[in-house]
Chains A and B, each alone.
Chain A
């Protein structure tokens, strides 16, 4: 099954599949009968105009919304109704469109919180600290420090994130999602509001994460240059419906997509 991309990365089997998802808020249909899949190791982009249902789709995948119809399959198993924290435990991490960091905590604590699904010492050992709790803390600290090195945020390790500039906050948020060592990483507009340099850095991080750790990534992004360069496959949504699905080239030349989203030159 494994196929290779042009740059030599390995794309594996289907990691996550959504089948016929329909999500409605009262009478408003946010998503209508959407199906697509995400394969292991690929970078999958979800694009579409504002209000197309992209973020709703991510919220369905991360268990925050429960669709009226349709199924989510993760690692070959159908997922029952789940609370978001249970989804996180299965190995799905995400970032948010408008930064959702824990503002009162330091960068380090934010990243450590990202690993919370893998920390287990009970409250009595925690109260004692010496022993298992400290050992666990140090083991996870080592992993988190690797991510801090990877993202180049050593200097702000102990700074409360509320004090950081926007671009760095976005980076810390990526770090927090990375810290979970998830199978699937969902990025909701990782480059929104960034300048060109910050965007380039972020692209580099996304590619490196995908290459070095083999993490599967699904991302929502409005910058078409970024989407076309980064992603292996693109799914296009509009008004809650799926318009197109395919490689960046196929999508770019799809008349329906050009009509709805990309636009034509005048």
Chain B
């Protein structure tokens, strides 16, 4: 009734395969984007930036990357944290070596470097599948974290073993470092995430995305109808690592400001991103965002409700928060094992017919 596609006719294939085929979807998404770009920067403060918006954007980028590999190409990876570390350290080295380089270019170059590393660690996927591949990628996680701990060149021989982002400006305004205003870091991340979300959608709806999905759904049949498995799998690893590398660079340079391999990029981060895409929906761009929102924003929301509204002690709230998040994850996975994106899809299908059952 409110949400309908009847009457929304398509008269060309180009209109039929556009990004948001249903008019209302299109308007809502463009509305949200306009709000995010034009209104939020004027309202944003330090708290909203550091606790809500930046973590959401950074992890959404990581979830997009892992979703390309796991959700679209069917290759399970537990190396996300390690690849984020590659992105962060590449970003750091680039920032230090080329102080004049535009930050957008630094982040994208960090992504490209991560893509190359990802291809190398993706090579085992040509031989092993499923859980075994997950274990093989786990090796990359431990190896990369070890590497960034042990080789001082990566952290420029700093005494603490940590890397911290020097101040860099964009259009004369600092975008990294302590002086960066919240709206600047926010807009920087938002721009990157928006552009690359559209790019991810373009990739998965075309030839390359189909070759990934064919490998995911039935690899032998895919090869027999003409998908080269080597190219499909390695390109998925490359693109996925590119996204994850960019998210690592953003996490380090814009959100944390300084990083250390064990805490910032440990195995827990790999699992976090994997849970995001499972809860959000494997094989769905929207799912990456929903999953990232669920796991980054829900704890903040719960904490605010319990501590802010009910006035409960903070330690009690912290423990309850873990319990509640766990319970919510189970609830959503039981209601819809295919994730929040599927839940949304089913709701849309119902809404389209409402109030008539058929």
Contact partner of B226 (CB less than 8 A), chosen from A112, A117, A121, is A117
Q: Given the complex of chains A and B, what is the CA–CA distance between A84 and B220 in angstroms?
A: 9
The yes or no answer to B66 lying at the interface (CB within 8 A) is: no
- Give the residues from 13 to 33 in chain B that come closer than 8 angstroms, CB to CB, to chain A: 13-14, 17
Do A62 and B224 touch (CB < 8 A)?
A: yes
Nearest Cβ on chain A to B211's Cβ, whole angstroms: 6
Q: Given the complex of chains A and B, what is the CA–CA distance between A126 and B198 in angstroms?
A: 11
Residues of B within 8 A of A64 (CB): 220, 224
Q: Given the complex of chains A and B, what is the CA–CA distance between A138 and B239 in angstroms?
A: 24
Q: A62-B224, A83-B223, A96-B221 are in contact. Are A129 and B216 (CB under 8 A)?
A: no
- Give the residues from 169 to 184 in chain A that come closer than 8 angstroms, CB to CB, to chain B: 176-177, 180
Q: Given the complex of chains A and B, what is the CA–CA distance between A105 and B225 in angstroms?
A: 15
**Proximity bits, A92-103, B CB within 8 Å = 1, else 0:** 011010001111
**Proximity bits, B186-216, A CB within 8 Å = 1, else 0:** 0000000000000100110111101101101
Contact partner of B283 (CB less than 8 A), chosen from A85, A104, A141, A142, is A104
The yes or no answer to A194 lying at the interface (CB within 8 A) is: no
Nearest Cβ on chain A to B108's Cβ, whole angstroms: 12
The yes or no answer to A200 lying at the interface (CB within 8 A) is: no
Contact partner of B217 (CB less than 8 A), chosen from A85, A105, A133, A138, is A105
Contact partner of B206 (CB less than 8 A), chosen from A88, A117, A137, is A137
Q: Given the complex of chains A and B, what is the CA–CA distance between A85 and B210 in angstroms?
A: 15
Contact partner of A141 (CB less than 8 A), chosen from B13, B228, B235, is B13
Do A88 and B225 touch (CB < 8 A)?
A: yes
Nearest Cβ on chain A to B236's Cβ, whole angstroms: 11
The yes or no answer to A89 lying at the interface (CB within 8 A) is: yes
Nearest Cβ on chain B to A201's Cβ, whole angstroms: 23
Do B283 and A113 touch (CB < 8 A)?
A: no
Residues of A within 8 A of B227 (CB): 85, 113, 116
The yes or no answer to B334 lying at the interface (CB within 8 A) is: no
Do B13 and A138 touch (CB < 8 A)?
A: yes
Do A113 and B225 touch (CB < 8 A)?
A: yes
Q: A104-B283, A128-B202, A137-B17 are in contact. Are A121 and B221 (CB under 8 A)?
A: no
Q: A109-B213, A112-B210, A126-B202 are in contact. Are A100 and B220 (CB under 8 A)?
A: yes
Nearest Cβ on chain A to B303's Cβ, whole angstroms: 37
Do A84 and B223 touch (CB < 8 A)?
A: yes
Nearest Cβ on chain A to B12's Cβ, whole angstroms: 8
The yes or no answer to B222 lying at the interface (CB within 8 A) is: yes
Do A101 and B218 touch (CB < 8 A)?
A: yes
Question: Which size bracket describes the interface of A in this complex?
Answer: 35 or more
Q: A123-B203, A129-B202 are in contact. Are A116 and B224 (CB under 8 A)?
A: no
Do B17 and A105 touch (CB < 8 A)?
A: no
Nearest Cβ on chain B to A116's Cβ, whole angstroms: 5
Residues of A within 8 A of B226 (CB): 85, 88-89, 116-117, 180
Nearest Cβ on chain B to A199's Cβ, whole angstroms: 23
Q: Given the complex of chains A and B, what is the CA–CA distance between A265 and B112 in angstroms?
A: 71
Residues of B within 8 A of A96 (CB): 221
The yes or no answer to A250 lying at the interface (CB within 8 A) is: no
Residues of A within 8 A of B225 (CB): 85, 88, 93-94, 113-114, 116-117, 176-177, 180
Q: A102-B222, A134-B14 are in contact. Are A126 and B206 (CB under 8 A)?
A: yes
Q: Which residue of A lies closest to B215 (CB)?
A: A102
Q: Which residue of A lies closest to B204 (CB)?
A: A126
Q: Which residue of B lies closest to A102 (CB)?
A: B217
The yes or no answer to A2 lying at the interface (CB within 8 A) is: no
Q: Given the complex of chains A and B, what is the CA–CA distance between A141 and B16 in angstroms?
A: 11
Do B221 and A133 touch (CB < 8 A)?
A: no
Q: Given the complex of chains A and B, what is the CA–CA distance between A109 and B283 in angstroms?
A: 14
Do B203 and A104 touch (CB < 8 A)?
A: no
Contact partner of A127 (CB less than 8 A), chosen from B13, B17, B199, B283, is B199
Do A104 and B207 touch (CB < 8 A)?
A: no
Contact partner of A85 (CB less than 8 A), chosen from B17, B205, B206, B223, is B223
Residues of B within 8 A of A176 (CB): 225
Nearest Cβ on chain B to A9's Cβ, whole angstroms: 27
The yes or no answer to A119 lying at the interface (CB within 8 A) is: yes
Contact partner of B228 (CB less than 8 A), chosen from A85, A126, A145, is A85
Q: A85-B227, A89-B226, A102-B218 are in contact. Are A133 and B213 (CB under 8 A)?
A: no
Residues of A within 8 A of B229 (CB): 85
Do A126 and B203 touch (CB < 8 A)?
A: yes
Do A123 and B208 touch (CB < 8 A)?
A: yes
Q: A126-B202, A127-B199, A129-B202 are in contact. Are A105 and B221 (CB under 8 A)?
A: no
12 extra A-B contacts, CB within 8 A, seeds A88-B226, A113-B227: A62-B224, A64-B220, A84-B223, A85-B228, A102-B214, A109-B213, A113-B213, A113-B222, A116-B211, A128-B199, A129-B206, A142-B13
8 A-B pairs closest in CB distance: A88-B226, A100-B221, A102-B217, A117-B226, A129-B202, A119-B207, A127-B199, A84-B224
Selected A-B contacts with CB under 8 Å, 7 pairs: A94-B224, A101-B217, A105-B210, A116-B214, A117-B226, A137-B206, A137-B207
